[in-house]
C-alpha cells in the first residue's frame, strides 16, 4: 500500500464535494493538538513531522483512487478537481522532537478548506502515532539512564505501523533497531542477536554458538536461555568466548530472554567476571517497559543493553494519543467548537505559542498562547480561572510555531533522525525533572494572552444555547 490522497476518511471527500459546490475558495486554519499526555505523563515528544512534509509535497490521487471515487458516484466536475489535487497550503509547526504539552497547537495548517480536510486523516494518523511512540521511548530512556536501548518490536507492531514505530523510537532516544527496512530508509543503526530457533536447529547448543561466533565474530551476542541459562547457556557461552579470544575475537555479549532478569543478570555477571570476561556485556529482553527497567535498576540488576519490543512499538498501555484537528479560522474569521466540558472547547484564531525560558535556560513551566497577529505577550491568563494570571516579563519568550511549508513546498531543510533525536534530548535537558517522573508529574501550565481569552469568551457567548 502506498500512501496517496485516498489515505483518508470518506467524509473528507464528501465534505470536499460540498465545499467545492458552495465555497471552493474558502481559506481555513486548522490546529493540531492533543488533549492529554499519554501514560499520565508530564510531557510528550512531538514526532512525525518530516514524514508528513515529505508525503504532502507529492500527495495526489492515483488512477486507481480516481476509478474508485468515480464508482462511488462523485460527479465529474468534482472528480476533475480531485484528479488535479495537490496540497498547496502553509504549515506552521513546533520543531520535530520538541517537548510538547496538551491543549496548545503543535502544528497549524493554513490552506484551502478542501485541501486542509483531505489531508486531515493522514496528518493525524502519522503525528498521533509517532508522537505516542517517541514519548514512550523517551520514558524508557529516562528509566534506562545510560543503558543502551534496542527496539525489537516489529513482530508485534501494528502491521506496517511498525516501520514508523522504529523511526519514532529512535527520535525518543533508542540507540538502534532490529527493523531492517526502517534502518535502511531512515538511517537508524540496526542491530540484532539470534533466535531460539537458531540454537534449536543444532543438536548441541555449543555448536550453534561456535558456528555463529566463527561466522559473525563482530558484535556477536549469544542467546543463553534456550535450555537452561545458568547450567547450559552461560557455561557454553563462556567456553566459546574463550575460543574467540584465541582467535583474537571478542564476544560482545550474552542475552537473557526469560526468567528473573534481576537474579539471572547478577549471577551471569559474576560468572562472566570469574572467567575474566568482564568485557562481555549483558543484554536483557522480555516484556520490558519503563517500569520494569526502573525496577531492574533498583534491584541492582547488571544489564548493559535493553531490548524492548511490544510495549514500545504498540505504545502500551495507552496505544493511542488523543490528537485532534480543529478549525480555528475560516475566511479570516475566528471559529470555535463548543463542548459541555469547557476544557474541550477549542481555541479560535491562527495562533502562536511562546515558551517561557528562565534565567538558567530551563523551561519555566508555562506556554503562553496568543493570537498570531499579536506581536508579543507580557501577561498570560489562566484559560478558565479568571483570578489567575502570570507576568511574563522576566522570561525569555521562545516562539514555538515556525513556518515549515509554504504553498505546498517545505521551506525547512530535512533533518535526519539522529539530528532530531539529539535535538529532542537537548530539549529534555531543559525540562525540569518534576515533569519527567512517572507518578503525578508536575503539570506544565498553559495561559492565554488577554486578547485571545477575551475574544474566545465573546465567541463562546455568541454560540451558546
Residue 111 has φ and ψ, to the nearest 5°, of: -165, 170
Give the cell for residue 289. Answer: 517497559
Least distance to its own copies from the beta carbon of 4, Å?
A: 7
User: Which residue's CB is nearer to its own copies, number 155 or number 242?
Assistant: 155
Give the cell for residue 99. Answer: 517537548
Distance of CA 323 to the CA centre of its chain: 12
Least distance to its own copies from the beta carbon of 313, Å?
A: 8
∠ CA 278-282-283, nearest 5°, is: 160
Question: Are the beta carbons of 309 and 156 closer than 8 angstroms?
Answer: yes
User: Which residue's CB is nearer to its own copies, number 142 or number 164?
Assistant: 164
Give the cell for residue 169. Answer: 523510537
SS3 category, 344: helix
Least distance to its own copies from the beta carbon of 247, Å?
A: 16
User: Which residue's CB is nearer to its own copies, number 180 or number 443?
Assistant: 180
DSSP summary character for residue 47: -
Least distance to its own copies from the beta carbon of 319, Å?
A: 4
User: Which residue's CB is nearer to its own copies, number 113 or number 401?
Assistant: 113
Angle of helix 234-246 relative to helix 205-215, nearest 10 degrees, comes to 30
Q: In angstroms, rounded to a whole number, what is the distance separating the alpha carbons of residues 71 and 75?
A: 10
User: Which residue's CB is nearer to its own copies, number 211 or number 358?
Assistant: 211
DSSP summary character for residue 336: -
User: Which residue's CB is nearer to its own copies, number 50 or number 65?
Assistant: 65
Least distance to its own copies from the beta carbon of 188, Å?
A: 11
User: Which residue's CB is nearer to its own copies, number 151 or number 381?
Assistant: 151
How far is it between the farthest Cα atoms of the chain?
A: 83
Positive or negative: CA dihedral 228, 233, 238, 240? positive
β-bridge partners, 204: none
Which residue carries 501577561 as its cell? 379
Least distance to its own copies from the beta carbon of 445, Å?
A: 26
Least distance to its own copies from the beta carbon of 159, Å?
A: 4
Q: In angstroms, rounded to a whole number, what is the distance separating the alpha carbons of residues 281 and 108?
A: 46
Least distance to its own copies from the beta carbon of 212, Å?
A: 5
Least distance to its own copies from the beta carbon of 292, Å?
A: 16
User: Which residue's CB is nearer to its own copies, number 261 or number 368?
Assistant: 261
Q: In angstroms, rounded to a whole number, what is the distance separating the alpha carbons of residues 125 and 393?
A: 38
> Parallel, antiparallel, or unpaired: how do β-strands 379-381 and 389-391 relate?
antiparallel
User: Which residue's CB is nearer to its own copies, number 203 or number 246?
Assistant: 203
Count of alpha carbons within 13 angstroms of residue 368, beta-carbon side: 29
Q: In angstroms, rounded to a whole number, what is the distance separating the alpha carbons of residues 31 and 347?
A: 9
SS3 category, 225: coil
Question: How many residues comprise the chain?
Answer: 465
Residue 321 has φ and ψ, to the nearest 5°, of: -120, 145
User: Which residue's CB is nearer to its own copies, number 15 or number 148?
Assistant: 15
Least distance to its own copies from the beta carbon of 441, Å?
A: 22
User: Which residue's CB is nearer to its own copies, number 6 or number 446?
Assistant: 6
Question: Are the beta carbons of 392 and 144 closer than 8 angstroms?
Answer: no
User: Which residue's CB is nearer to its own copies, number 32 or number 364?
Assistant: 32
Helix runs in 286-409, H state only: 290-298, 310-313
> Parallel, antiparallel, or unpaired: how do β-strands 253-256 and 221-223 relate?
parallel
Q: In angstroms, rounded to a whole number, what is the distance separating the alpha carbons of residues 305 and 103?
A: 36
Q: In angstroms, rounded to a whole number, what is the distance separating the alpha carbons of residues 54 and 410?
A: 8
Least distance to its own copies from the beta carbon of 96, Å?
A: 15
Least distance to its own copies from the beta carbon of 7, Å?
A: 5
Amino acid at each position: 500500500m502506498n500512501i496517496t490522497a485516498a489515505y483518508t476518511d470518506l467524509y473528507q471527500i464528501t465534505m470536499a464535494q460540498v465545499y467545492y459546490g458552495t465555497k471552493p475558495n474558502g481559506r481555513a486554519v486548522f490546529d493540531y493538538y492533543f488533549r492529554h499526555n499519554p501514560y499520565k505523563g508530564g510531557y510528550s515528544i512531538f514526532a512525525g513531522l518530516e514524514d508528513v512534509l515529505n508525503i504532502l509535497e507529492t500527495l495526489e490521487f492515483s488512477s486507481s483512487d480516481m476509478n474508485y471515487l468515480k464508482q462511488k458516484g462523485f460527479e465529474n466536475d468534482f472528480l476533475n478537481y480531485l484528479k488535479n489535487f495537490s496540497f498547496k497550503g502553509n504549515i506552521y509547526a513546533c520543531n520535530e522532537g520538541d517537548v510538547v504539552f496538551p491543549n496548545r497547537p503543535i502544528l497549524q495548517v493554513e490552506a484551502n478548506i478542501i485541501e486542509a480536510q483531505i489531508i486531515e486523516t493522514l496528518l493525524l494518523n502519522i503525528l498521533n502515532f509517532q508522537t505516542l511512540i517517541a514519548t514512550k521511548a523517551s520514558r524508557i530512556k529516562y528509566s534506562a539512564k545510560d543503558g543502551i536501548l534496542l527496539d525489537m518490536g516489529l513482530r508485534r507492531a501494528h502491521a506496517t505501523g511498525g516501520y514508523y514505530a522504529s523511526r519514532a523510537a529512535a527520535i525518543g532516544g533508542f540507540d538502534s533497531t532490529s527493523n531492517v527496512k526502517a534502518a535502511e530508509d531512515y538511517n537508524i543503526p540496526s542491530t540484532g542477536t539470534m533466535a531460539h530457533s537458531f540454537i534449536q536447529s543444532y543438536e548441541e547448543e555449543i555448536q550453534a554458538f561456535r558456528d555463529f561466533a566463527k561466522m559473525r565474530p563482530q558484535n556477536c551476542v549469544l542467546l543463553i536461555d534456550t535450555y537452561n541459562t545458568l547450567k547450559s547457556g552461560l557455561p557454553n557461552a563462556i567456553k566459546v568466548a574463550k575460543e574467540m579470544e584465541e582467535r583474537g575475537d571478542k564476544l560482545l555479549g550474552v542475552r537473557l530472554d526469560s526468567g528473573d532478569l534481576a537474579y539471572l543478570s547478577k549471577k551471569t555477571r559474576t560468572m562472566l567476571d570469574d572467567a575474566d570476561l568482564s568485557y562481555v556485556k549483558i543484554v536483557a529482553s522480555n516484556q520490558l517497559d519503563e517500569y520494569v527497567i526502573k525496577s531492574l535498576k533498583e534491584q541492582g540488576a547488571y544489564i548493559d543493553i535493553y531490548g524492548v519490543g511490544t510495549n514500545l512499538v504498540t505504545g502500551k498501555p495507552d496505544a493511542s494519543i488523543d490528537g485532534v484537528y480543529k478549525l480555528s479560522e475560516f475566511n479570516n474569521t475566528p471559529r470555535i467548537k463548543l463542548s459541555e466540558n469547557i476544557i474541550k472547547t477549542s481555541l479560535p484564531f491562527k495562533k502562536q505559542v511562546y515558551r517561557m525560558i528562565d534565567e538558567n535556560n530551563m523551561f519555566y513551566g508555562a506556554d503562553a498562547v496568543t493570537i498570531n497577529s499579536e506581536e508579543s505577550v507580557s501577561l498570560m491568563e489562566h484559560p478558565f480561572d479568571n483570578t489567575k494570571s502570570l507576568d511574563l516579563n522576566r522570561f525569555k519568550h521562545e516562539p514555538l510555531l515556525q513556518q515549515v511549508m509554504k504553498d505546498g513546498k517545505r521551506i525547512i531543510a530535512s533533518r535526519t533522525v539522529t539530528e532530531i533525536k539529539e535535538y529532542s534530548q537537548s530539549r529534555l535537558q531543559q525540562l525540569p525533572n518534576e515533569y519527567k517522573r512517572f507518578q503525578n508529574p508536575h503539570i506544565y501550565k498553559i495561559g492565554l494572552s488577554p486578547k485571545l481569552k477575551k475574544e474566545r469568551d465573546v465567541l463562546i457567548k455568541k454560540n451558546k444555547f
